[in-house]
Chains A and B, each alone.
Chain A
Amino acid sequence: MPAIAISPGTMIELVRETVLPDLPAGFSAEADFFEAGLDSMGVMQLVMYLEERFGKKVDPTELSRANFRSGLAMAALVMGQVAGA
Chain B
Amino acid sequence: MNIVDLIFSRSTAAHPAIISTELQLSYGELETRMKTCAQRMSADSAWPRKERPRIGLNAPSSADYIVLALSILQQNACFVPIPNELTTAERAQLARSTALDAIVHAQNAEEWRIEAVTHDSPPAFDEAVLSALNPAFIRFSSGTTGASKGIVISHETLLARITAANEGLRIGSQDRVLWVLPMAHHFAVSIVLYLYHGATTILAPASDPKVMIEMMRSHGATVMYGSPYHYTMLSGQPDAASLGSLRLAVSTAFALTNEVAELFASKTGLHLTQGMGIIEAGLPILNLQHSKDKPTSIGQPLPAFEVKLDDGELMLRGPGIFDAYLTPWQPREAVLRDGWFATGDVAEVDTDGCYYLRGRVRSVINVGGLKCFPEEVEAVLCSHPGVKAARVSARAHPALGAMPTADIIPQDASAPPAVIELRKLCQERLSAYKVPLFYTFVTELPLTASGKLRRY
In the complex the two chains form, what is the Cα distance from A61 to B322 in whole Å?
47
CA distance A60 to B398 in the complex (A): 7
Question: Quick one: closest B residue to A52, CB to CB?
Answer: B438
Q: What residue in chain B is nearest A41 (Cβ atoms)?
A: B432
At the interface, is chain B mostly helix, strand, loop or mixed?
mixed
Residue A17 lies at the interface, judged by CB distance under 8 Å to chain B: yes
Question: Are the C-beta atoms of B399 and A41 separated by less than 8 Å?
Answer: no
A45 contact from B420, B424, B435, Cβ within 8 A: B435
Is there an interface contact between A21 and B424, defined as CB atoms closer than 8 Å?
Answer: yes
Number of residues of chain A lying within 8 A (CB) of chain B: 17
Residue from the list A48, A59, A60 in contact with B403, Cβ < 8 A: A48
Question: A17-B420, A49-B437 are contacts. A44–B403 as well, Cβ < 8 Å?
Answer: yes
CA distance A24 to B403 in the complex (A): 27
Task: Look across to chain A and name the residue whose beta carbon is closest to the beta carbon of B428.
Answer: A21
B399 cross-chain contacts in A, Cβ below 8 A: 44, 47, 60, 63
A28 at the interface (CB under 8 A from B): no
A21 in contact with B427 given A44-B403, A45-B403, A63-B399 (CB within 8 Å): yes
Whether a CB of chain B sits under 8 angstroms from the CB of A39 is yes
A48 to B398, CA, bound (A): 9
CB distance from B437 to the nearest CB of A (A): 5
| A-B residue pairs, 9 tightest by C-beta | A41-B432, A48-B437, A60-B399, A41-B433, A21-B424, A44-B400, A60-B398, A45-B437, A17-B420
Residues of A near any B CB (own CB < 8 A): 17-18, 21, 39, 41-42, 44-45, 47-49, 52, 57-60, 63
With A18-B423, A45-B435, A59-B398 given, can you name 16 additional A-B contacts, CB distance below 8 Å?
A21-B420, A41-B432, A44-B397, A44-B399, A44-B403, A45-B437, A47-B398, A48-B397, A48-B403, A48-B437, A48-B438, A49-B437, A57-B398, A58-B398, A60-B398, A60-B399
